[in-house]
Chain A
Amino acid sequence: MSSAAPDLSQLDQLRARMQGMAGGMPRAALPVHPALSGVVQLYAGASYEVDGLGLAMTLLAGPSRAGEWCAVVGIPDFGVEAAAEAGVELSRTVLVPEPGEQWLEVTAALVDVAPVVLVRPGGRVAASVAERMGARLRKRAAVLLVQGEWPRCEARLGVEEPVWSGVGQGHGHLRARRAAVVVRRGAAPPRRSELWLPDPVAGARRAEPAVRALEEAG
């Protein structure tokens, strides 16, 4: 798989260039965690639905490692230690755990200062609101990650078929989780990639398909 990863990222780059030609403005790609390179590419100005807080943290880690600020809105159960393990730089992270009714205004204000904002919406979002937020995101070249539903998002990311390793019946402890990260873009068929998320060493790591085959075989 290690040889396939660069191909995928090349594909993504080509796709971005095509989109750039079609849409006029080329869109800047945000740095991603190495484990997600070729799996997910975040583009400035877009919003993404992300299912699973661990995956969202890994997505924050890319820009955060590259020196950017991250903001997290409306997620009081954001596990700080897990975020640090995923590679999020805590000193450049701000949380607004309880924004209450004003979560949308708070999110909009933070889009102005942080290129990546993770939000759990405090209510239903109208398409017009999402449109206005989209304009703001494009102006600020920021990315919105949403834990929940968001109209007309660029892609939906999720974690499926999680399998924890290291734990048995009353012995061992949770060590790592192998799961499929699934990216759904519009009507296109979903793209699945096997990942260790979390991984005890790298925070997250691409999984070799052979291992699963072996596990299944024996």
Chain B
Amino acid sequence: MTGVLEKRVLVVWCPDWPVVAAAGEAGLPDRLPAAVFHANLVQACNEPARALGVRRGMRRRDAQGRCPELAVLAASPERDARAFEDVLVAVEQLRPGIAPLRPGLVALRSPGRFYGGEEEAGAVLAERLVTLGVWDSRTGVADELFTAEQAARRARSQESLVVPAGGSPDFLRTLPVEVLDDPDAVSLLRRLGLRTLGDLGRLRAADVRDRFGSHVAWVHRVVGGDGAVHLPTRTPPPELERHVDFEPPLDSAETIVFSARRTAEAFVAGLAQQGLVCTEVRVEARCEGEDPEGRPASVRSWLHPRFFTAADLVDRLHWQLQGGFRAGDVSRPVERVRFVPETVVPDAVHADVLWGGTDERVERGIARVQGMLGHDAVVVPVLQGGRGPADRQAWVPWGERPTGLRPTGPPWPGSLPPPAPARVLRTPWPAEVYDAARRPVALDDRGALSADPAVFRPGPDEDRQPVAAWAGPWVVEEQWWESGGRRVARFQVVGVDGRAWLLTLDGDVWWTEAGYD
């Protein structure tokens, strides 16, 4: 078994795929200007429309103003994927094991000299796609995925652009930074005066990674000629495959996909337990009444440019079944779906080598925890402005952007001077504070204490002990625990055991908010 990126990569690009798919379904000839709209904005348009000045992101009224005869089509990602299924079948006949990147774009291992050469393979493919009614397809071949995709985007219609082995740096150096498909990074690069990938390549690798993240860092390596990585792939042990049986057998792709979801998760989790990720998987669907030893009705190998997540597997199964039902391969209800890993790589190696960092690995591990406990269970701690210690921090669920945080900048009158308490209780503990005569200590109307605290108990599980030292009050008007806007006073209290606490007096009730552990 060879890894997905060990050999040359061939990428097939069908430009303006949403328009091709929508026009095909509507039966429109492809010479007419057409555009696909999402939320009243142009999502994609074809060449005749572009020639008349229609652009991506343009409002519908403006687009029709420039081109009154424009065919207006609604966006539908499902339709795009469905229509691309035929292309995938054709590409797969060229060489098994394909990696669909998105509708309109698919990568596979280059068939090499099998068709006489890489350009010839592209020609064979273009010819086959024309018979499917896909007139505009372009192929790019290079040492790795990024360059192959860029080559495909620069090839002419029905032609191939082959970047010779080791030629990626020379090919990429002249490309504008806009090819990065990362608007933030592109904007920053332009402001820095860096206009081509060659300019990017001259930056230091560490700087690029810190400032632009793993994707741009990877491109940086490709431009530097280190992009084609040789992954230590291995043939996976057989116990890693997973299957699910349906009783009674199911005859709708949607139901099967839904029922196989857990199996896909178990498959990924089983690999992860061994520290592996799968880059090539065989998906099998067996129909009712078939010979259990024979070849299942639908078998297909899928590659992934990175590695398969459970969601990716479910997608592939969906595409495969939809295609199978339409083509008639799957003519009876399905009774078993099986995922078989064909190529696996150690996840650490994969993440480190391919993306130049461990962030992908972190994301995967965290996704696993989220799978166990729910999305909100994993949080990233952030600071915000506020007076009490609990107000000055917030938890943001992993993967979400923090919103509605109070600025830390302006001074917050009544907030406590540093150091901050190490323990900030989620729910304050009821506390007790007494003076030397064992009377509860309270605050009078003018904000003065009835007496100096002499004995205290920070919480129900803590010991009562003499006060060694104390400071305060810090008086603030605020929304405090369980009550409307009112005045509370904070005190720092140190016990004779040397531990310090942050206590709050709300009316005549004492709470412990935090501990200086």
The answer on a CB contact under 8 Å between B381 and A80 is: yes
Query: Could you tell me the distance in whole angstroms from the C-beta of A66 to the nearest C-beta in chain B?
Result: 13
B364 contacts across to A, CB distance below 8 A: 113
Q: Is the CB of B423 within 8 A of A79?
A: yes
Are A91 and B452 touching (Cβ within 8 A)?
A: no
- The answer on a CB contact under 8 Å between A79 and B514 is yes
Question: What residues of chain A lie closer than 8 Å to B358, measured between beta carbons?
Answer: 69, 113
A200 an interface residue at 8 Å Cβ cutoff?
yes
**Distance of A143 from chain B, by nearest CB (Å):** 16
| Interface window among A6-14, A161-169, A208-216 | A161-169
1/0 contact string of B373-384 vs chain A (CB within 8 Å): 100011111110
Alpha-carbon distance between A52 and B494 when the two chains are bound, in angstroms? 16
The complex places the Cα of A174 from the Cα of B389 at a distance, in Å, of 14
* Given A113-B366, A168-B469, also A198-B423 (CB < 8 A): no
Question: Which of A97, A102, A113, A176 makes the CB contact (< 8 A) with B419?
Answer: A176
Q: Are A174 and B471 in contact (CB under 8 A)?
A: yes
Residues of chain B in range 380-412 having any CB-CB distance to chain A below 8 Å: 380-383, 389, 392-395, 398
Q: Mark B465-505, 1 if CB is under 8 A from A, else 0.
A: 00001111000000000000000000010100011100000
Among A52, A57, A80, A96, the residue within 8 A (CB) of B382 is A80
B393 contact from A53, A80, A112, A179, Cβ within 8 A: A80
Q: Which residue of A lies closest to B392 (CB)?
A: A81
8 Å CB contacts to A: which residues of B237-262?
none
Interchain nearest-CB distance for B405 vs A (Å) = 12
Overall SS of chain B's interface:
mixed
With A164-B516, A167-B471 as known contacts, state yes or no: A173 contacts B416, CB within 8 Å: yes
B362, B416, B449 pick with most chain A CB within 10 angstroms: B362
**A85 to B250, alpha carbons, bound, how many Å?**
58
CA distance A14 to B368 in the complex (A): 39
Query: Which residues of chain B have C-beta atoms less than 8 A from A69's C-beta?
Result: 358, 362
Contact B420 A82 (CB under 8 A): yes
Q: Which B residue's beta carbon lies closest to that of A203? A: B419
* 1/0 contact string of A100-113 vs chain B (CB within 8 Å): 10100110011011
Is A125 interfacial (CB-CB < 8 Å)? Answer: no
What 10 pairs across the A-B complex have the smallest Cβ distances?
A113-B365, A80-B393, A81-B420, A162-B498, A80-B381, A54-B422, A82-B420, A198-B419, A53-B422, A53-B517
Contact sample, A vs B, 26 pairs, CB 8 Å cutoff: A57-B422, A77-B514, A79-B389, A79-B514, A80-B392, A84-B383, A85-B420, A90-B380, A94-B366, A94-B380, A94-B398, A96-B369, A97-B379, A97-B395, A97-B426, A106-B372, A106-B373, A110-B369, A112-B365, A113-B365, A167-B471, A169-B469, A170-B449, A170-B452, A170-B470, A198-B419
Q: A77-B425, A164-B494, A164-B498 are in contact. List 5 more A-B contacts (CB 8 A).
A: A53-B422, A85-B418, A95-B381, A96-B378, A200-B419
